[in-house]
A and B are shown apart, each in its own frame.
Chain A
Amino acid sequence: MTGSNEFKLNQGPEDGISAVKFSPSTAQFLLVSSWDTTVRLFDVGGNAMRMKYQHSAPVLDCAFYDPTHVWSGGLDLQLKTHDLNTDQETIVGAHDAPIRCVEYCPEVNVMVTGSWDRSVRLWDPRTPCNAGTFSQPEKVYTLSVAGDRLIVGTAGRRVLVWDLRNMGYVQQRRESSLKYQTRCIRAFPNKQGYVLSSIEGRVAVEYLDPSPEVQKKKYAFKCHRLKENGIEQVYPVNAISFHSVHNTFATGGSDGFVNIWDPFNKKRLCQFHRYPTSIASLAFSNDGSTLAIAASYMHELGDIEHPEDAIYIRQVTDAETKPK
């Protein structure tokens, strides 16, 4: 089932995986946050776990600030930062409700967290301390950083674009162009737009420039749907990750498939084999050579028997990721 370009990580988390992120400087290190309340650092090359630290409750997201500092937050409401060299952890702050997303914005040098308490908070990574709280219309489900802009996807299908240098007001208030709940938003590496996925097996590609000519280019397509017994089963698209070089993106859904798409030619480039269970998170490494696939049951159908949660590391080729 797994080819020679793909292997499974050892000593993976014992419960569901919520997020995987590669280190910004190297494809060697992978950070994994999990529902077993740990955050683990893996050495991908040697297929071994390097470090692990705990929260008091399941961790929903993690992010690298720089190659030696990681931040994570989750259901224990606390935002923690961990120094990988000294294995020291610090509690930076908290939200009023579980922290759903943690991201870093290199241009403004600020950590951003989004939470179900309907707020987005900025954190100064150097001190570290809170740099502002900004309320959103609804619970924050996902967010992504594009240059110096922040795109927040909330419940109620709302999408807000904030300018991180000027958080006094929302730069753009938009509605998701999909009819159902937003699952994930990721911004293009070229910062022109973002990709939005919903629970209904659909992905929309949208642009940030509000002028009508640019807005005309946006589109949506169906994916991650399977026809079983003649009825189409619709799966949520849980994860999106961009290839930093080619501007193509991979999507992972609860059907267990990973697809790679070319947004400019509107074509699918590649589909990998089916993984044993839902794809919870995807991450391309910085150089685009490796894709980390977290296959982990997401409890969509309640607590049932499910295949073991695992992380697969796959070396991707240009043929799979480059636009034709």
Chain B
Amino acid sequence: MTVCGFFLQGRCRFGDKCWNEHPRDASHHQQQPSRGRGGGGGGGGGGGFGNRVWVNPSQRTQSSEYIQPSTFNKQADWGRGGSGRNEGRNSFGGPSGFGNQDGGRKGFSNSEASSFSFSSQNRFSTLSSQDFEGGSQGDDIEKLLETIKHDMEIWESSNQWPFSCYSVAKEKPFISGFSDFSPEELRLEYYSGMDAGNLQNYANSVQQLANQFKNRLLELKTQSSTTRSSLIAELNSPKQNIPAAGFGAQQTSTFGSAGFGASEPTAGSDSSSSFSFKSSSEFGSAPPGGTNAFGSSPALLKQPAFGALGSTPSAGFGSSSSAPSAASFSFAAPSAGKEQPSGFGSVQPPGFAAPSGGFGSSSGFGAPSSSSSGFGGSSGFGGPSSASSVSGSSVPSANVLGSTSTSTGTSSAASGKLFTPQSELTAEELKEFTGKRFTLGKIPLKPPPVELLVV
């Protein structure tokens, strides 16, 4: 059959009834329609590619031309919008750093922009930064490190308040090593020093803090390879707590919620803070659920979920970071102590199945989850009673955990004892083990002795 010339021009009056052939792909015109289609819903999609009857070439070219300007405008709007937003910020004199970065990322990660991506790629180089953002994680880190260096220089030279936490970008954890104090707190120390007649003490502690700050600043400014690698690990790891700091007031992070956590701050805070710091880097470096003793499931890597080892962020428990570790510790306890520190590593929501590798007995964990449903992951701690058991054991557990964490971060080294010999147990612990049930607040932290186990 002959190919219908009118159809090719888009003006065949017979349509399907035409005796000539209407070839399916009008490949001659593919440039324009695809652009039109790439131009998105607007513009009627190239005048209706499937509409063979009514679209005539003049119309079609017109429509695609029509589309072209609209897509052009839209895309230019992204560019303008992006820079427009930047300009908006610049109206206060100078780029606003953070704000710019945000605007840039947000503008370009807009879903509409992504639908333009392949057509826009060639034309609008500004939008090609979208690829840049998506692609190179490594470069991002480089940029961040540069920003850190730059910020440190400014911090030093500008006589800025030194006792402040610092974070280089949104959604990144803040850089460790900076302690957070407000001027009022320092003034309080000064006044109490004056009252006590002991200003020297105050001066010393301020000096100490200032030195700490200076050192950390210097470290970050002249980034040696060790600082770089630790920074990169930090930046990649999920959010973490503020490091503990001087003035005798430890700062482990707690989570806001009704009622629970207010009394916890000093409980073993030293170890817990070092613990939390270490653990976050552990989280960063170890794959989730990996061989690490801290191999919690990915959901637990986020800081709010940290407190949610057994509780949802919304219910919150306001516990200091020692508490979740204590909580999982008490998991270990009621399960008749099949595992010890590895119990911590095995917190996985679905019924607390197998911990990392060589600690056997996943069934042991099935037990507590059924017995005290509160421990079963997201439903909170099953009520205040179990929560108090957490708090009861938090002090000793923090120390124990602190020691295990600082000494060993890995499962293999974690003391690996399944049972404690009876000689090592205190009288109280022995009483607990021999009793029918554990009493809240007195749940032993060591595994039970072999002799008492009734299988």
Q: Decide whether A and B are members of one complex.
A: yes
Q: Is B166 an interface residue (CB 8 A)?
A: yes
List CB contacts (< 8 Å) of B65-112 with chain A. Answer: 85, 88-89, 91-94, 96-99, 102-103, 106
Contact indicator A160/B180 (Cβ below 8 Å): no
Q: Is B353 an interface residue (CB 8 A)?
A: no
Q: Please tell me which one of the listed residues A117, A181, A220, A302 contacts residue B161 in the complex, with CB atoms under 8 A apart.
A: A181
Q: Is A21 an interface residue (CB 8 A)?
A: no
Tell me which residues across on chain B come within 8 A of A168, comparing CB atoms. 257-258
Q: Is A234 an interface residue (CB 8 A)?
A: yes
List CB contacts (< 8 Å) of B40-87 with chain A. Answer: 85
List CB contacts (< 8 Å) of B259-302 with chain A. Answer: 259-262, 265
Of chain B, the residue at the smallest CB distance from A100 is B184
Of chain A, the residue at the smallest CB distance from B168 is A179
List 9 extra interface pairs beyond A177-B170, A200-B160, CB under 8 A. A118-B254, A155-B180, A156-B165, A167-B258, A181-B164, A198-B164, A225-B158, A236-B160, A236-B161
Contact indicator B251/A266 (Cβ below 8 Å): no
Contact indicator A266/B184 (Cβ below 8 Å): no
Tell me which residues across on chain A come within 8 A of B188, comparing CB atoms. 58, 75, 98
Tell me which residues across on chain A come within 8 A of B390, comparing CB atoms. none
Q: Is A243 an interface residue (CB 8 A)?
A: no
Q: Is B157 an interface residue (CB 8 A)?
A: yes
A264 CA to B265 CA, complexed, in Å: 41
A281 CB → nearest B CB, Å: 12
Contact indicator A117/B167 (Cβ below 8 Å): no
Contact indicator A180/B256 (Cβ below 8 Å): no
Q: Please tell me which one of the listed residues B164, B167, B249, B251 contacts residue A199 in the complex, with CB atoms under 8 A apart.
A: B164
10 residue pairs from A and B, CB less than 8 Å apart: A156-B165, A177-B99, A179-B166, A180-B161, A180-B165, A181-B165, A221-B92, A225-B158, A236-B161, A267-B92
Contact indicator B166/A266 (Cβ below 8 Å): no
Of chain B, the residue at the smallest CB distance from A203 is B92
A37 CB → nearest B CB, Å: 10
Q: Please tell me which one of the listed residues A141, A177, A221 contacts residue B182 in the complex, with CB atoms under 8 A apart.
A: A141
Contact indicator A222/B253 (Cβ below 8 Å): no
Tell me which residues across on chain B come within 8 A of A141, comparing CB atoms. 182
Contact indicator A299/B190 (Cβ below 8 Å): yes
Q: Is A318 an interface residue (CB 8 A)?
A: no
Q: Is B442 an interface residue (CB 8 A)?
A: no
A276 CA to B281 CA, complexed, in Å: 47
Contact indicator B157/A135 (Cβ below 8 Å): no
Q: Is A132 an interface residue (CB 8 A)?
A: yes
Closest 5 CB pairs of A and B: A221-B92, A181-B164, A234-B158, A199-B161, A135-B318
A236 CA to B253 CA, complexed, in Å: 24
Tell me which residues across on chain B come within 8 A of A266, comparing CB atoms. 88-89, 91-92
Given contacts A133-B262, A137-B256, A268-B92, contact A177 B180 (CB under 8 A): no
Contact indicator B315/A221 (Cβ below 8 Å): no
A298 CA to B249 CA, complexed, in Å: 22
A236 CA to B188 CA, complexed, in Å: 18
Of chain A, the residue at the smallest CB distance from B259 is A133
A133 CA to B256 CA, complexed, in Å: 10
Q: Is A63 an interface residue (CB 8 A)?
A: no
A267 CA to B206 CA, complexed, in Å: 39
Tell me which residues across on chain A come within 8 A of B171, comparing CB atoms. 175
Tell me which residues across on chain A come within 8 A of B170, comparing CB atoms. 175, 177
Contact indicator B151/A135 (Cβ below 8 Å): no
Q: Is B5 an interface residue (CB 8 A)?
A: no
Given contacts A117-B262, A135-B318, A181-B180, contact A298 B88 (CB under 8 A): no
Q: Is A324 an interface residue (CB 8 A)?
A: no
Q: Is A23 an interface residue (CB 8 A)?
A: no
Tell me which residues across on chain B come within 8 A of A180, comparing CB atoms. 160-161, 164-166
Tell me which residues across on chain A come within 8 A of B186, comparing CB atoms. 299
Contact indicator A219/B88 (Cβ below 8 Å): yes
B179 CB → nearest A CB, Å: 9
Contact indicator A170/B158 (Cβ below 8 Å): no
Q: Is A178 an interface residue (CB 8 A)?
A: yes
Of chain B, the residue at the smallest CB distance from A18 is B184
Q: Is A312 an interface residue (CB 8 A)?
A: no
Q: Please tell me which one of the listed residues B98, B151, B168, B187 contacts residue A220 in the complex, with CB atoms under 8 A apart.
A: B98
Tell me which residues across on chain B come within 8 A of A119, comparing CB atoms. 262
Contact indicator A138/B98 (Cβ below 8 Å): no
A167 CA to B318 CA, complexed, in Å: 13
A179 CA to B158 CA, complexed, in Å: 15
List CB contacts (< 8 Å) of A101-144 with chain B. Answer: 116-119, 132-139, 141
List CB contacts (< 8 Å) of B158-216 with chain A. Answer: 158-161, 163-168, 170-171, 174, 180, 182-188, 190-191, 206
Please encode chain B, from 220 to 251, with 1 for each CB lying within 8 Å of some chain A CB and 0 for all others.
Answer: 00000000000000000000011000000101
Given contacts A138-B253, A219-B88, A220-B99, contact A303 B190 (CB under 8 A): yes
